[in-house]
Structure 1
Amino acid sequence: MSFSRWLCSLLLVFIASFSVQAKIYTTPILAEANDLLLTSPEQSLKITQRYLSQRHLSTPKEVSRVHINEEADHTIRTPLSTVNALQINARAYSLLNQPDNALKSIKEAEKLALENELTFTHLESRLIHANIYWNNLKNSARALAMLNQIDKEIEGSEALNLTNQVKRLQYQSLMQRARVESSLNNESEAEKLFSKAKRYLMSLEDKGELINFQLAIGQHYLAHDHFDLALDSLLSGYWLSVEQDDQAKTAIANYQLAALFEERKVFDKALEHATQAGEFFEHYNRAKPLAKTLELIASIYEQQGRFNLALVHYFNALDQENQLHRNIRSARLRLNIARVYLQLYNYPKTEQYLNHTRMLATQTGDDEIQTEAQILQGQLERLEGKTEQAISTLQAGLIAASRTNNLSLQLQGEMELSKAFEQQTDYYNALLSQRRYEQLFNTQQQAQVKSNVEVFKQQQRMLERSLHLEEMERQQFESEKALYKQKNITIFLICFLLVTLIVLLRRHRVASQLQGRLLRLRSEFYTHPRSGLRNLRMLTVKLPNSLQQSSAHFEQWHLGEIINEPLSDRLRFALFEVPFLKHIYLKHGYQQGLDIERQFGEYLKKQVCGPARLYHFSDAMFLYIEPNSRLDTAPEQLANSLQQLIDSFVEHKYIDNRIRIGMAEYPFLPRAYTAINDHELLDILLMATNAAREVSKKESGSQWVHLSAIEAAPAASFASDNIRLACIQGINNGLVKVQSSTITEIAWNNDHDSDKNIS
C-alpha cells in the first residue's frame, strides 16, 4: 500500500467518529462530554465516568423515569442517559485506540438498552460496536456482518415509530458500510452506498451530518485518486464547516485538503491547510492527528527539497508517536528520516535509522515497511560503493515488493537496480532492469489513463448537466430580468408614492406647526397681558407704508374689520373708562391687583356675546362694539347696560363702580359712509369719553356722552386733518348732536391745537 492510500485509510477511520455530533442530549453533562469527543476524548471520558460513578441507576419501580432523559434529581440517572454515557465512553476509548475498553463499554450499553426495551438506543449501540471492529480491530468482515444484522433488525422493528429515527439509523448504517467498502478498495460498491446514504441525508436536514458526508465522500475520492471529485467534495465540506463555525471538522477538512494538494504537487496550498490543521490539533493536544499532520508537513518539505525543515517535523511527529507507543507508526517515521538523511548524504545517520526501522518492522510484522527499508538499504549501499551487496539487497527487495504487488516500490527498486548494474558495468542486466522499469511504468500509466478516462467521462456527464443547467439558468435569468424590471417599476412607484406622502405629511405637519405658532402669535399680540381680553392695536400710523398695509390687512382679518363692515351693517361704539383699574394696584398691591384685573377680563368675556365685541383699548379703557340692533334706542340704554356689567362685577368687592362712557355710531356721517375712518372714529370716542370724565369730576356717579352727526351734516365739514377740531366746530355749528348723562353744559377742551406737536 502506498503512503497516500495509507493516509486516506487513516482519515476515513477518523471521519467515522463524526456521527457523534448528530445526536442531541437533553442531559447537559452528557451533551458537554459529547461535544468534547473530537477535541479532547480524555476529558470526555472523565466527565462520563464521573457521571456514572456519582449517580445511581433508577430502580425499575420508578416507571416514569425509564424512558425519559431529563433528570431533575442529580443523584440518579435514567437507563436512557446511562446508555448514552456508555456510548460516549466507547467512542472516547475508540478514539484513544483502546479497543478492549471500548468493546466493554458498548456491550454494557447494549445489554442495558435491551433490558429496558430502548430499541433505538440499542441499535445505535450496535452501530458503534460495528464501527469499533472496523476502526480499531481492522476486522472488516465482522463489521460488515454486524451491519447486515443491524439492517435486518431496523427493517423488522415495530418499536421504531418515528420515521426520522429510522432514517437516521439507516443513514448511519449505510455510511459505515460505504467507508468499509472504500477501505477494501470496492470503489463502485462504496459509491453506490454513498449515493444511497445521500438520499436519506436530504430528509434529515442536518447540516452537521452534511459536513460529515462531504468530507467522507471527498476522502473516498482522494483514496481512489479521483482528485477533481475529491476537491469539489472537500471544499464543500470545508466551507460548510467554516460557516457552521465547527473548528474540529474544519481542522479535518484542512488536513484532507492538504493531503489532496500534496498528491497534486500544489505544495503552497498543501502547506497552508496542513499548518492550520496542525495548529488546531496542537491547541487541543490531539497527539494522534497531530503526529499525522506533522508527518504530512514534513513530507511536503521533503518534496520541496527543504530537508532540514522536513527533519524537524519528522522528529516532532516521532516524539508524538513514541508517546502513543505505536511501533508501526514509529517505524514509518524512522524510514522517512533515513530517506531524508540519505538525500543529505549523511550515510551513517541513514544506516542508523534504517536499522531501527527494520527492528521495529520485524517486531510488528509489517512486510511493507521491511520492503521499503530493504530497497532504501540497497540504494544506500549503491551510493557507498558496495555494488555487489546493493544488487543482492535490491533484488531481495524487488521480490518482496512483487509479493505485495506494490507497484511504486517495484518501480523504485528496478530503477536503483539498473543504476547498480550500470555502476558495475554490467550493461546487459542494467538494460534488462531498465526495460522492466519501463514495463512497470507503462502499466502504471495505463492504470492512470484508465482512471483519467473514468474521470473524463464523469466530467463529460457533469459538463452535459452543466450545459443543461446553463440553458435553464439562462431562461431563469430572462424571467428574473423581466421580473426585476417589473419589481423596479413597482418599487419606483411605491417610493414615489411614499415620498409624495412624506412630503404631504411634512407639509401638513409644517402647516400645523405654523398654524399653531400663528395662533400663539395672535393670542400674544391681540391679548392684553393682564385682563386677557383682545387688545386693540390698530393704530399703526408710524409704521412704514408696506408694513402698515400688511399689518392692517392681518389685523382686520383677525378682528373681523372693526369698521370696514358691509355697508348694510350699522355699528354703535362705546369707549368706556373703568377708574377702579387705575387705583386697584395702589390699594390692594400688585399681585391682588393682577388677580382682580384678570377676573374682570374673564368676567367681561363671559358677559359679552357675539356679534358684539369688546377690546381692551388701554390700561383702564375698553372699546365695545355692537351691531345696529340698538341704533334706534336711546344711548342711555347702552350706558345702563355697561353700568350693570360693572355693578355685577364689583358687588361685594367694595370697589368703585363708576365708569365714564363715550359713544358714537358708524357711519358717523349718515350721508357719507367713508368720510371718517377708524382712526378718526376712535378720536371722536376719546373726545367723548374725556368729556364724560370731566363731567364725572364735577358730579358724582357714572357719566356718559354720546356724539352723533345730524342727517344733513355735509362730509366737507369733516374734511380736515384734525378730526377733533372738526368735531368741535361741528358741535358749535349744530352739525353734531351731543347727548349726555348731565344737564350741565360740557366744556370741550381745545387741546386739538397741540396734537401735532406730540411725538
Structure 2
Amino acid sequence: MSFRRWLLSIIIILIASFSANAKIYTTPILTDASELLQTSPEKALEAVNRYLSQRRLSEPKESSRVHVNDETDHTVRTPLNTINALQIKAQAYSLLNQPEKAISTIKSAQTLASDNGLTYTIFETRLLHAKIYWDNLKNSAIALNMLDQVDNDISQSQPLKLTKQIKVLQYQSSMQRAVIESALDNNDQAEKLFAQAKRFLNDLDDQEERITYQLTIGHHYLQQKHYDLALDRLLSGYWLAVESGKKAKIAHANYELAMLFEQRNVYDKALEHATQAGEFFEHFQHTQPLAKTLALIASIYEQQSRYNLALVHYFNALDQENQLRHNIVHSAHLRLSIARVYLHLYNYPKAEQYLQQARQLAQQASNETIQAEVQILQGKLELAEGRLEKAISTLQAGLISASRSGQRELQLQGESLLSETFEKQHDYYNALLSQRRYEQIFASQQESQLKSHVDVFKQQQRMLERSLHLEEMERQQFENEKSIYNQKKVSLFLLSLIALLIIFLIRRHRIVKHLKIRLGILRTEFYTHPRSGLRNLRMLNARLPNSLQQSSANFEQWHLGEIINEPLSDRLRFALFEVPFLKHLYLQYGYQHGLEVERQFGDYLKEQICKPARLYHFSDAMFLYIEPNSRLNTEPKQLADSIQQLVDNFLIERQLDSRVRIGMAEYPFLPRAYTAINDQELIDILLMAANAARLNSQTEQGSQWVHLSAIDAAPAASFACDNIRKACIQGIDNGLVKVQSSSAKEFNWNNDHDSDKNVI
C-alpha cells in the first residue's frame, strides 16, 4: 500500500511540474471560489460548501488506473479537488476572522492529503496551515516553528527534488517568514528573506505571484516608513497588475498607494487611488475590503477638514462592518474615528456616544492599542468640555496603555494634551514635565526616522551604482555594435539571400493560410449534416474522384478520431439507431417546424454526448453512436436503454413517436483479428442489425434492438469474402456470430440477404 501511495505522489508531482506554477483548478467552481477570496470570502465559502455538499468523495482506485484529477462525473469529487476545496474554505474562514474553523478545516485537508499520499499537496497544506495560524492568532513562535518543520521535510523529500515544484514551496515558505519578520520589526531579517524569495520567484513563470511579491514588499516598506522604496515597489506591482488585467490586484495596489499618499500628506493622489479601489470593491457588497477602503477615504476627508464628507464615508464603512459582524477591532476604530470627527464639529454629546461604543468594543476585544486611543480621545473631549481633573486621569491612563503597546504616536498626542491640560490648571511644573517627555519621545522618533532615511539612502546608493554599471554596459554595447556595423558589408550578400528566402516563405505561408481557410469552409459544409448540425459520414462515399477520396479519408481519420483505426489496446462499441419520428415530422407539422425540431434534436444530442463518445448523422433518420468499450462484460441492453432515454428526454414535452430501432456491434468484431473488418463492412453489419430491429418493431410494440458479436474463437477466414452480410449470416448459422435482441422472436436472416441481390 505504501508503494502505491508513493507512486501516486510521484504521478501528481510530475503532472504538476509540467503545468504552470500558478495554481490551476480543474473544476470551474473552485476556480471561481479562489478568485472570490480576494474580494468576497463569504461568497467563496458558500460556493465551496455547495461544492462539497453536492458531490460525494470518489472511491479509491488502483494505482495502475489512477486519474489524478478526473471529474468528468459531476456527482463525485476527487481527493485532490476535495483538498483544494478545503484549502479555499480554510482561507475564507481566516479572512472572516474565524480562526478555530479555519484551523480545523486546514487540518482536515492535511489529513486527507496524508491518507492519499499526495506529497506536494501535503506540504502546500502545511504551509497554508502556518499562514492561517499567523494571520489569525499572530503567534510568531508557533508559526515559525511550523515553517521550520515544513522546510526540513521538504529538504528530505526525494520525489520533490526531481521537480520544479520544490521552488514553489520554497518561495511560499520564504514569503511567509518575511511577512512574520516584518511584523516583528526585524527589518534586516525580513529583507534577507524577501531577497531569498525573489531568487525562487525568478525560477518560476508566475506573473500573478510577481504582482503579489511587489505589493507585499511594498507594504513592508510602507509599514517601516520607507516611503520612497514603498512607492517604487507598489507602483511596480500596480503596473504589472494593469498589464496582466488582474482587477483585484489593481484594487489592492490602489488601496496600498492611497495609504502611502495619505501618510505623505498628498491627499489628492491618495483620494484618487482610494476612490479607484472603492469603485472595484463596490461591486462586492458587505465585504471587508470595501469597509476598509471607505474608512480610508473618510480618513483622507477628515485630514482635509471636510468633516461632513468624512462622516458620510465613516457611516458607510460602519454599515459595512455591521453587516459583516466579524471584526470587533475595525468596528471600534470606526466608532473612534466618528467620535473624533464629531469632536472637530463641537458635537460633544455625539462624540461621547460613539466613544462609549468604541470603549465597549475595545474591552470586548481586549485590544490595548484601541483602548489607549479611546482613553486619549476621551481625555481630549473632557479637556474641550472643561473637565480638567477628569481629563488628566483619563490621559494618564491612556499614556500608560500606549506605553505598554509601544505606540509612539499615541504617546506624543497624549503628552501634548496632558501638557495643555496642566497648563490650563496653572500647574506649570507638571505641564513642563509632560512637555519634556513629549520632546524625548519626539527625539527618539526622529532618530528612528533618521536611521530609516539612512537605510533608504543606502538603497538609493546601490541603485545609483547599478545605474552607473548599466551605463558602462551600454557604452560597451555601443562599441560592439560599431564593430558589427563594419562587418555588415561582408554579410550583405548573405542577407540578400535570406531576404529572398523570407519573401518566398511569406508568400507560401499566405497561400497555405488561404487554402486552410477554404478547406475549413469545405469541411464545415461537407462533414456537417445540413439539418441537424451533427457530423456525418461522407467518408463512405465511393463515388468521389480519387484525389478527393484520398483527402477525405485523411481528414476523416483525424476528424472522426479514426473510426476503426484506434490503438489495438482500445475497444469500441457501435450503435446504429433509427428514430422514426424524424420520418413523419415534416409530413405532420410542415417544413419549417420540421427543420426547427430536427435542429433542436441535433443540438440536444451534441450537449448530451460527452467525449470520448462520438455521434454522427448517418442518414435522414439514422444516427451512428461510438463509445469506448473498456468493460467487456457490459450488456448491450444498457447501451440501448441509454439511447432510448436520450430520445425520451427530448420528446418529454412533444407528442411524437419515441420508439427507437437499434443495431449494435463492437470493434474489433473479430476478437482474434483486429483488422479483418474495415469501416464499411462494420457499417454494413450495423445496418443488418438495425434492419432486423426494424422488422421486429413491425410485429411487436415498443423500441427494438439487435446486437451482433462474433465469438472469441471465430476465425478471420470465415469473413474473408466480398459480401460481409452473407458472411455474417453464415456465421450465425454456424454459431460463429452471437445474436442478442430485445425480442425472443427468431430472425429470418436469409430474406435479409436475398434482398441484397435486388439492389442495383
Same fold (TM over 0.5): yes
Please state how far the C-alpha of 1:395 moved relative to its aligned partner: 2.5
Flag the 1:278–1:156 CA change in 2: closer, same or farther, 3 A.
Answer: same
Matched residue of 1:22: which SS?
coil
Please state how far the C-alpha of 1:341 moved relative to its aligned partner: 1.2
Flag the 1:21–1:308 CA change in 2: closer, same or farther, 3 A.
Answer: farther
Q: Output the CA distance in 2 between the equivalents of 1:491 and 1:340.
A: 76
Q: Counterpart of 2:441?
A: 440
Q: Output the CA distance in 2 between the equivalents of 1:235 and 1:395.
A: 42
Please state how far the C-alpha of 1:403 moved relative to its aligned partner: 2.8
Q: Counterpart of 2:172?
A: 172
Matched residue of 1:163: which SS?
coil
Matched residue of 1:24: which SS?
coil
Higher deviation after alignment, 135-144 or 206-215: 135-144
Q: Counterpart of 2:684?
A: none
Q: Output the CA distance in 2 between the equivalents of 1:466 and 1:383.
A: 55
Q: Output the CA distance in 1 between the equivalents of 2:398 and 2:37.
A: 42
Matched residue of 1:204: which SS?
coil
Matched residue of 2:137: which SS?
coil
Please state how far the C-alpha of 1:479 moved relative to its aligned partner: 4.5
Q: Counterpart of 1:110?
A: 110
Q: Is 1:278 the counterpart of 2:278 in the alignment?
A: yes
Q: Counterpart of 1:746?
A: none
Q: Output the CA distance in 2 between the equivalents of 1:268 and 1:60.
A: 60
Please state how far the C-alpha of 1:386 moved relative to its aligned partner: 2.1
Flag the 1:43–1:486 CA change in 2: closer, same or farther, 3 A.
Answer: farther
Q: Output the CA distance in 1 between the equivalents of 2:311 and 2:484.
A: 62
Q: Counterpart of 1:361?
A: 362
Matched residue of 1:68: which SS?
coil
Q: Is 1:240 the counterpart of 2:240 in the alignment?
A: yes
Flag the 1:41–1:404 CA change in 2: closer, same or farther, 3 A.
Answer: closer
Q: Is 1:93 the counterpart of 2:96 in the alignment?
A: no
Letter in 1 for 2:441: L
Q: Output the CA distance in 1 between the equivalents of 2:290 and 2:50.
A: 28
Q: Output the CA distance in 2 between the equivalents of 1:352 and 1:489.
A: 88
Please state how far the C-alpha of 1:254 moved relative to its aligned partner: 0.7
Q: Counterpart of 1:719?
A: none
Q: Counterpart of 1:203?
A: 203
Q: Is 1:304 the counterpart of 2:304 in the alignment?
A: yes
Matched residue of 1:283: which SS?
coil
Deviations 1:23-82 (A, max 9, x none): 112334433333333233333333333333333323224445645113233333222222
Flag the 1:425–1:480 CA change in 2: closer, same or farther, 3 A.
Answer: farther
Flag the 1:385–1:29 CA change in 2: closer, same or farther, 3 A.
Answer: closer
Please state how far the C-alpha of 1:349 moved relative to its aligned partner: 1.5
Q: Counterpart of 1:292?
A: 292
Q: Is 1:424 the counterpart of 2:425 in the alignment?
A: yes
Q: Is 1:465 the counterpart of 2:466 in the alignment?
A: yes
Equivalences for residues 476-555 of structure 1 within 5 A: 476-477=477-478, 479-480=480-481
Higher deviation after alignment, 382-391 or 194-203: 382-391
Q: Output the CA distance in 2 between the equivalents of 1:306 and 1:471.
A: 52
Q: Counterpart of 1:551?
A: none
Q: Contact between 2:21 and 2:204, CA under 8 Å: does it hold in 1? A: no
Deviations 1:701-749 (A, max 9, x none): xxxxxxxxxxxxxxxxxxxxxxxxxxxxxxxxxxxxxxxxxxxxxxxxx
Letter in 2 for 1:36: L
Flag the 1:426–1:166 CA change in 2: closer, same or farther, 3 A.
Answer: same
Q: Contact between 2:221 and 2:230, CA under 8 Å: does it hold in 1? A: yes
Q: Counterpart of 1:40?
A: 40
Equivalences for residues 147-166 of structure 1 within 5 A: 147-166=147-166
Letter in 2 for 1:350: A
Q: Contact between 1:67 and 1:79, CA under 8 Å: does it hold in 2? A: no
Deviations 1:236-257 (A, max 9, x none): 1110011000001111111111
Letter in 2 for 1:429: N
Question: Tell me, which stretches of 5 or more residues in structure 1 are unaligned?
Answer: 1-19, 503-759
Q: Contact between 1:66 and 1:79, CA under 8 Å: does it hold in 2? A: no
Matched residue of 2:265: which SS?
coil
Q: Contact between 2:57 and 2:76, CA under 8 Å: does it hold in 1? A: yes
Flag the 1:52–1:436 CA change in 2: closer, same or farther, 3 A.
Answer: closer
Letter in 2 for 1:304: Q
Please state how far the C-alpha of 1:492 moved relative to its aligned partner: 14
Flag the 1:341–1:177 CA change in 2: closer, same or farther, 3 A.
Answer: same
Q: Counterpart of 1:145?
A: 145
Q: Contact between 1:109 and 1:125, CA under 8 Å: does it hold in 2? A: yes
Q: Counterpart of 1:216?
A: 216
Matched residue of 1:446: which SS?
helix
Please state how far the C-alpha of 1:478 moved relative to its aligned partner: 5.2
Q: Contact between 2:40 and 2:287, CA under 8 Å: does it hold in 1? A: no
Q: Contact between 1:123 and 1:150, CA under 8 Å: does it hold in 2? A: yes
Please state how far the C-alpha of 1:410 moved relative to its aligned partner: 1.5
Q: Contact between 2:321 and 2:331, CA under 8 Å: does it hold in 1? A: yes
Letter in 2 for 1:472: M
Q: Output the CA distance in 1 between the equivalents of 2:249 and 2:237.
A: 8
Q: Contact between 1:335 and 1:354, CA under 8 Å: does it hold in 2? A: yes
Question: Tell me, which stretches of 5 or more residues in structure 2 are unaligned?
Answer: 1-19, 504-760
Equivalences for residues 291-370 of structure 1 within 5 A: 291-325=291-325, 326-370=327-371
Flag the 1:145–1:308 CA change in 2: closer, same or farther, 3 A.
Answer: same
Q: Is 1:378 the counterpart of 2:376 in the alignment?
A: no
Q: Output the CA distance in 2 between the equivalents of 1:72 and 1:488.
A: 63
Flag the 1:346–1:156 CA change in 2: closer, same or farther, 3 A.
Answer: same
Q: Output the CA distance in 1 between the equivalents of 2:145 and 2:489.
A: 62
Equivalences for residues 22-37 of structure 1 within 5 A: 22-37=22-37
Letter in 1 for 2:243: E
Q: Counterpart of 1:730?
A: none
TM-score (norm. length: structure 2) = 0.60
Letter in 2 for 1:435: R
Flag the 1:485–1:368 CA change in 2: closer, same or farther, 3 A.
Answer: farther
Please state how far the C-alpha of 1:162 moved relative to its aligned partner: 3.9
Q: CA RMSD in A?
A: 2.8
Matched residue of 1:97: which SS?
coil
Q: State how many pairs are aligned.
A: 481
Flag the 1:434–1:251 CA change in 2: closer, same or farther, 3 A.
Answer: same
Flag the 1:429–1:47 CA change in 2: closer, same or farther, 3 A.
Answer: closer
Flag the 1:256–1:54 CA change in 2: closer, same or farther, 3 A.
Answer: same
Q: Is 1:126 the counterpart of 2:140 in the alignment?
A: no
Q: Output the CA distance in 2 between the equivalents of 1:345 and 1:211.
A: 45
Q: Counterpart of 2:189?
A: 189
TM-score (norm. length: structure 1) = 0.60
Identical aligned residues as a percent? 66
